[in-house]
Amino acid sequence: MTDIQNQKTTAREVLAALGHGERVAVVGSINADLTVETEQLPCPGETVVGGPLETLPGGKSANQAVTCALLGTATSFIGALGDDAHGDLLYQSLRRAGVDTAGVSRVNQPSGSTLITVDSHGENTIVYSAGANATLNAASVAAQTEIIRGAQVLGLCLESPLEAVAAAATIAREAGVTMALNFSPITKVPDSLLRLVDVLIVNEHELAVLAGRPLDSGDAAGLRAALSDLGFERAVLTLGADGALVLEGGEFVSVPPFAVAAVDTTGCGDAFMGSLLAAVAAGEPLSRGACLASAVAGVAALRKGAQASYRNAREVREFLDFS
């Protein structure tokens, strides 16, 4: 699947298949992204001059949920917000996108936040402070069991306490809900949790950490061996500017990226994962889902911020038609 026209056609077909009664649940993080643009990212010990400070809605899990909802999939988010102005901004962003917020609690803590620097090539550095996200635990997730059970697919990442992630994964496994884990930010995870993963979404560095050895992105056999040694049968390996490799049904499929002039890549990986969640919930194979995900991530790179850069299904369709 190396032909871009073929990829666009597939992405359009997958887009049309979304939003026909399927449901996605995402459990995890939601952050206020305190963002400054600079010409170059600072080196350790260096001070650089930046533009105005902007506070934008983010958080890996909330970003995935917002992407999914904007594409037309019924989506529920389970997470914890602070009782502060950032909490209001983040809650409004979920609601505007059409995310079901019945599983969102407000706690007496500052909302999760990040410090983000974006350079003139759209690359970034991110420092995460968990805040209210740290209050998500096994009990608060268990209180939302029915939301998880009502979904076809559950999305998880590692910005939340592991006990909350494991609780959500266990509920999903018991209910036969497909669980997709984004292994980010890199965290030591017990094997018991990895065994609950149906679809793994990793970049090359994260896979190398999981595998415990260096890997070469050009060596498909080595990558496949690393995934199968770890026990994963369905996985998406994201390769940045080189697109993605999809493992499913014993086959490795290469999905090229959409080449765009990136303004800000913050949240593009989350847009990719959110699109995959939507596609898998609609019964699409991972490789077809990755065709849409690649387009949605490409569109997201064209504007500033994470959720602020995401487009709805109609706008993604226009991008596919005119790019």
Nearest approach in angstroms of CB 126 to ligand RIB is: 5
The amino acid at 226: A
Which one of 270, 282, 288, 301 is in contact with ligand RIB (CB under 6 A)? 270
If binding is defined by CB under 6 A, does position 269 make contact with ligand RIB? Answer: yes
Dihedral of alpha carbons 187, 190, 192, 194, sign: positive
Residue in the block written with tokens 């609601």: 95
Active site residue 83: no
Which one of 22, 159, 204, 264 is in contact with ligand RIB (CB under 6 A)? 159
If binding is defined by CB under 6 A, does position 114 make contact with ligand RIB? Answer: yes
Report the candidate in 62, 88, 86 with the shortest Cα–Cα distance to residue 76: 62
If binding is defined by CB under 6 A, does position 267 make contact with ligand RIB? Answer: yes
Say whether 291 sits in a helix, a strand or coil.
helix
Nearest approach in angstroms of CB 208 to ligand RIB is: 19
If binding is defined by CB under 6 A, does position 294 make contact with ligand RIB? Answer: no
Distance from C-alpha of 5 to C-alpha of 1, rounded to nearest angstrom: 10
> What φ, ψ does residue 45 adopt, rounded to 5°?
85, -5
Task: Give CA angle at 66 (303, 265), nearest 5°.
Answer: 30
Q: Which x/- pattern, by CB under 6 A, does the window 118-137 give for ligand RIB?
A: --------x-x---------
Distance from C-alpha of 31 to C-alpha of 306, rounded to nearest angstrom: 10
Does residue 185 have a cis peptide bond before it, meaning omega lies within 30 degrees of 0?
Answer: yes
If binding is defined by CB under 6 A, does position 306 make contact with ligand RIB? Answer: yes
If binding is defined by CB under 6 A, does position 91 make contact with ligand RIB? Answer: no
Give residues in contact with ligand RIB (CB under 6 A): 29, 31, 33, 58-60, 63, 114, 126, 128, 159, 266-267, 269-270, 306
Residue numbers in the known binding site for ATP are: 203, 238-243, 269-270
